Structure formats: C-alpha cells, structure tokens
Chains A and B, each alone.
Chain A
Amino acid sequence: MNVNRYLPLCLTLMLSGAPGLAFAETLVVNSYGGPYEAIIEERIIKPFEEKSGIDVVYDAVGSASQDYAKIKATRGQPGFDVVVMTASQSLQGCKDGLLEKLDVTAVPNLGKLVPSLAAVAGPCGAVHEVQYMSLLYRTDKLASPPTSWSSLLDPELKGRIILPTFQNIMAVFLMEIMSVTRGGDMIDNVDPGFSAMAELARQSIGFEQSSAILESYIKDGTVWAMPFWNGRAQLLVDQGVPVDYVRPKEGTVPLIATLNVPVGATNKQAATAFIDFFLEKSSQEAWVTGYKVGSARTDIDIPDDIRKRQITTQADLESLKLPDLSRIADKLGEWGERWERDVVSQAN
C-alpha cells in the first residue's frame, strides 16, 4: 500500500479540524428570531462580545421544543453551545442526561436568583427570564377590565375568545389555574379544570398553536379576550393596539425561560461565561427593560412603570402558582388524550 496516496486525505482531515482550534473562542447561541433576536443582540450579545472577546454566532432556528428534539436526536451534540428553552425542557434534558448541570462555581450569578424559581427549572437550567400568563383583553370592546379567569366565561365574550392548542403549554397552565379556581388542584384533581376548559371551548371560536396567530385574532378585533404571555402582551400594548392585560385575582402561572448547555457542547467554558453574563445585575436590567419581561433576580433596579407590570419582587413571586413541571411532564400524555376527548370535541 502506498502511504503517500493517503497523505492528501490525511492533510485535509487534519486541516478541517483546524478551524475549531483557531477559533476556539466562538460561541454558538441558539434562540428565537423576530423581535427577540434584535433585542438580545443589542442588549446582551454585543456587550458580552465586547467584555469577553468571544465571538457569538446567533442561531435563530427552531422553537424550544424543536431545539430540544434536536438535542435529543443528536444525543447532546446539536451544534450549539447555549440554547434558550423553558424550564420544561431543562428538567427533561437533565433527566435524559442531555443537558449539563450548572452550579455556582461555574456560574456565580446563579446564587443571586430566587431559589424557589431556580428550583422549578432544576439543576440544568439557568433562569434568565420570567413571564406570566396574563389575561389579555380589548380595551375598546369590554366595558370594564376583567378581574378573574372566570370572566372568560362571561356571556358578552361568547364567540369572542380563542384558546391555545394543548401543544402550547399555556393551555396546560390555563387548565390548571381553572382547576384551582374551581376547587381542584394543579396535578391530582384536575377534573374541575377540564370541565371548565370544556365550557371555555364552547365559548371560544377555536384553538390556535402559535402566539403569532393567536395575537392576530385580538389585533383585528375578532377576539376580545384570551390568555397570553405578558411579555408579548406588553409588546402589543407598546405597538398601540387597543389592548391591555391583567394578572387575575386567582393568581397565575409563570413561564420560566432558561439558558441551557447541551452535554456535547464544544465550548462549555465560553457557554457558562455567557450564562453568567446574562444573569449579571446589569444584563438582567437591560433585558427586563428591553424585552419587557420579569426576572428571577429581585435586586435589579428598573423604572416603576415596568416593575408594576412584571414579576420582579418577592411579593410578585409569592403571588405565582409554581407548576411542578416534572409531574406535569408525566401527566402530559394522559391530559393530552383527555383534552382531545373532553375539550376539543366541545368547540364550535
């Protein structure tokens, strides 16, 4: 065998590995597109690049569940180092051994987060943002602002509400909160929740999965009220749409967004540095004021008008009903079937 024949091949293989060495300080961050991308680039990524000298490549492909499917299919080597998902995927990924455990030695700012919220996401997720399910309504159509989740059942809203599909976690949270409102609980006794959702289905014009389509219905006035994440609700208010949102008196459930590192990430050190930077007090202030969401840090300084509407204080946190996401994950299959049978069948 002539070894020289294989020399070019060997050289090519060696050189193809070289960029990895030469640009070791390149970090691939996977998150969302749209307004999210513009705000995270300006408020977090640019300052991080300036401070650390690490180049960030932004990958906007995929929703949280699509990202998680990619991590699972590649056994923890999806090609990105940091990924923005939610506490549900953080817990699942930790259980499946696909996400790195994060601790205060590598990410000192984790110690600054409110323990109860950090606990919801488990040891593999760094909570960088907290939204809550709000009740969004048209200010020009409703005589007075709704105060309770049960307002969705008011006769004046017949045919004027829309519901998320079950595959949008908001549907699960709405079912749970309706269950609590009617004397059930969030996991073991959800019968009242499902019967309330059946009533809501009869009241609704149907189901939609994506936030973008859901909001189109309230924008054009087809729908007058619906549950919606407050971050996006605030963006609608800022756009001048005649809508506003409330945290109903029964309380609400938070959507806890997390930063995660897949086990096979190539740049773990840069990844944890990025996460720590995102959790810094100044970065959290920039993110809360930029993307109009809440934070798991209660020590941030932000204007009063934003603080009033977001989850930023201990008192706000205590008003939240924290979901037990790992138990929800175990129940999802059963609840999904029940949703098809009891809720979807009731829609008009």
Chain B
Amino acid sequence: MSTIALTAPAAMPGAPARSSGYLVLAPSCLVLTIFFALPMGTMIGMSFMDAQTLSPTLLNYQRFFSDGLSLAGLYRTAVMSILVAVCVTVLGYPVAYYLARSRSRWRALVFALALAPELAGVVLRTYGWLIILEDRGFINDMLINLGLIASPLPLSKNLFAVVVGLTHVVLPFGILSLTTSIQGIDPNLERAAQMLGASRLSVIRHIILPLSVPGIVSSLLISFTMAASAYATPALLGGARFKVLATMIYEQVLFYIDWGFAAVMAIALLIMMLAISFLGIRYETRRGNRRSNREGEAS
C-alpha cells in the first residue's frame, strides 16, 4: 500500500509568526469563557452553597444521593435517553441507507420528509403527540368507539409517551449523522462483495454495518444527549408521574427556588452526558487505532 508523505509547506514570506495563531483562537475562546465557562463555574459554585444562608455546604449533594427521588429521576433520565437513542438509530438507519445510496427521484422527497419535523417547533410537535396519545386522544377514542377496549389505554404521562415524542423530535439528527457516515463508505466495496457472491443481506451485515459503526455511534451519542437534556417533551408527555432531571431542575429553579439543589441536579445530568460521550469517543479512537495498526501490518 502506497503512502503519501505530507510535509508542512515552507513558511511563506510575510506569514504571521506562530504565536499569532493563538490570536485567531482568541475570539472563540473569549466567547466560550463568557458564555460557557463562567456560567458553568457559577453553577458549580452554587451547588456548594446553602440557598438560605449562602454559606458553603455539601448538603445539596448529600440530599441528591439520599432523598431517593433524585436518583430515581437520574435513572429515569438514563433509561429514557438510552431507549430514545436506540429507537432513533434503529428507525433512522434504513432511511439513512436509502438516502445515501438511492438515485431515485423520490430521494429528494424522502430527504425533505425526513427533515420536515424540524420545521415545526418542539412544543407544537409534542402537543400533536399529546392529542394522539392522551386518554381522550385520537387512538384511545378510536379504539373505544370501535369497541376494542372499554377504558383508555395508558399511552400518555409515562415512559412510553416520552420515548415516542422524543424519538420523533430527535430522528432527523440521527438520520443526518447516519447518512453522512454511510455516504462515506465506498460503494465499490458493496459491488465487489456482491460480485463475489454475497447476498444483499450479508453485504449489509458484513460490509455496510461494520463500516458505518462511527455513524451509529455518533447517532447514539447525539440522540442520547439531546434526549437527556430535553425539557418540553418530557414535561408535556411525562407530566407529574414521569419526571426526568430536566423537569425536576425546572421545578427546583421556579417553584422551590432552591438553585443550589437545582445546580446539583444539573451537574449530575452533565456528568452523565459527559461520561456517555467519553465512552463513545474512546470506543471510536480505539477502533481507529486498531484499524490503523491492522493497515500498518498489512502494508
């Protein structure tokens, strides 16, 4: 296997000195410091503060781990986000494959349809699901009128409703990241496999799926983080009986006016999302390393 050595271009006359490279980064660093690091620091500070006396305390953290309700909220958030991530990736994959490979004239239409949900606001779409799923909603009304059920099925105010609503909200993002990844796979590999006698199914299983793992991982990551931080959909479709961290934080800020405890919950949410992203990135890096090692051995 031939390799192309890339060498750094020789310094051009009049090119800025190396240190000025950092100058280019300055605006974005400044923006990040003001709008990300400072608020984040304030929030972390707040989590160690007593809401009444403003004195330093660990009570907020102690309460988070001992009241039972907060950890249950964290657990619900995690379960909900994992389910959404899996649903989005499983449902989005066939669409993404079609979008990446099809040359049909319907492709543009499917692409538009896949992204169409983004045109309507999250709240609007969630209300749509509420009308369909609630006790007096479309599905229950229809089933009752057809005589199939006597009392409404529990389709709203629970995990099911939130996962359905969030999958709809997040799906376009999953489809986009999967499409980009599948488009990056050389179509000649599929043709080669088929010429060598592989069935369509084994091409997908042995060629497409393994090569699109980076896309699958990024779709899972995007969906997980978007679901874990979503507020409107869990608030409307989950209600009082299915509370996740995002809705619990909102309550602490607005109703209980306990910003210290809200900050602890926000930090827990942040740590969970960082941990998942870290795992995903580490998996990707390891895979990348293994591949380049194999390629190194082969060449």
Whether the Cβ atoms of A165 and B136 lie closer than 8 Å is: no
- Would you call A337 and B69 a contact (CB within 8 A)? yes
Q: Knowing that A205-B135, A207-B239, A336-B255 are A-B contacts, what are 19 other residue pairs whose CB atoms are under 8 Å apart, sorted by A's residue number? A: A65-B255, A66-B254, A69-B253, A69-B257, A72-B257, A72-B259, A165-B239, A165-B240, A166-B240, A167-B251, A167-B255, A206-B240, A209-B240, A329-B257, A332-B255, A333-B258, A341-B69, A344-B240, A344-B241
Chain B residues within 8 Å of A65, by CB:
254-255
> Shortest Cβ distance from A97 into chain B, in angstroms?
12
Q: Please, how many angstroms separate the alpha-carbon atoms of A88 and B239 in the complex?
A: 24
Question: Is residue B256 within 8 Å, beta carbon to beta carbon, of the partner chain?
Answer: yes
- 7 tightest CB-CB pairs across the interface, nearest first? A207-B240, A167-B255, A65-B254, A165-B240, A69-B254, A340-B69, A332-B256
- Chain A to chain B contacts (Cβ below 8 Å), 15 pairs: A65-B254, A69-B253, A166-B255, A167-B254, A206-B241, A207-B241, A209-B240, A220-B136, A222-B135, A333-B256, A333-B258, A336-B251, A337-B67, A341-B68, A344-B240
Q: How far is the CA of A206 from the CA of B67 in the complex (A)?
A: 24
User: Which chain A residue shows the least CB distance to B157?
Assistant: A206
**Contact residues of B between 243 and 299, Cβ < 8 Å to A:** 251, 253-259, 261
**Residues 202-220 of chain A, each 1 if its beta carbon lies under 8 Å from chain B, else 0:** 0001111100000000001
List B residues at the A interface (Cβ < 8 Å).
67-69, 135-136, 157, 239-241, 251, 253-259, 261
List A residues 206-261 near B (Cβ within 8 Å): 206-209, 220, 222
User: How many Å from the CB of B144 to the closest CB on chain A?
Assistant: 13
Q: Nearest Cβ in chain A — how far from B148, in angstroms?
A: 20
Tell whether, in the assembled complex, residue B257 and residue A68 are in contact, meaning their CB atoms are under 8 Å apart. yes
- Identify the interface centre among B68, B240, B257: most chain A CB within 10 Å of its CB: B240
CB of A92 within 8 A of chain B? yes
A69 to B255, CA, bound (A): 9
Q: Which residues of A contact B (CB under 8 A)?
A: 65-66, 68-69, 72, 92, 165-167, 205-209, 220, 222, 329, 332-333, 336-337, 340-341, 344, 347
Chain B nearest CB from A283 CB (Å) reads 30
Residues of B within 8 Å of A208, CB to CB, are 239-240
Q: In the assembled complex, which residues on chain A have CB atoms less than 8 Å from the CB atom of B255?
A: 65, 166-167, 332, 336
> How far apart are the CA atoms of A65 and B239 in the complex, in Å?
18
Alpha-carbon gap, A208 to B136, bound state (A): 14
Given the contacts A72-B257, A92-B257, A222-B136, A206 and B69 also touching, CB distance less than 8 Å: no
Shortest CB distance A93–B (Å): 10
* A206 contacts B239, C-beta separation under 8 Å: yes
The distance from the CB of A347 to the nearest CB of chain B, in whole angstroms, is: 7
- State how many angstroms separate the Cβ of B21 from the closest Cβ of chain A: 28
In the complex, chain B residues whose CB is within 8 Å of the CB of A332: 255-256
Q: Chain A residues with Cβ under 8 A from B258's Cβ?
A: 333
Residue of A nearest to B135 (CB): A205
Q: CA A332 – CA B257 in complex, angstroms?
A: 10
In angstroms, Cα B230 to Cα A7, docked, is 47
Report the nearest A residue to B72, measured CB to CB: A340
Residues of B within 8 A of A341 (CB): 68-69
Q: Hey, which chain A residues are within 8 Å of B67, CB to CB?
A: 337
B98 to chain A, nearest CB (A): 40
C-alpha spacing A340/B67, complex, angstroms: 11
Q: In the complex, what residues of B have CB within 8 A of residue A66's CB?
A: 254
Residue of A nearest to B130 (CB): A213
By a CB distance below 8 angstroms, the chain A residues around B253 are 69
* A85 shortest CB reach to chain B, Å: 12
Bound CA–CA A92/B259 (angstroms): 14
Query: Least Cβ distance of A310 to chain B in Å?
Result: 28
- Per the bound structure, the CA–CA distance linking A273 and B165 in Å amounts to 49
* A339 (CB) vs chain B CBs: closest residue: B240
A68 to B254, CA, bound (A): 8
Bound Cα distance from A206 to B255, whole angstroms? 20
Bound-state CA distance A85–B291 (Å) is: 62
Provide the bound-state CA to CA distance between A337 and B258, in Å: 13
Chain B residues contacting A68 (CB-CB under 8 Å) are 254, 257
Q: Nearest Cβ distance between residue A63 and chain B, in whole angstroms? A: 8
A209 to B235, CA, bound (A): 10
Q: Which residues of A contact B135 (CB under 8 A)?
A: 205, 222
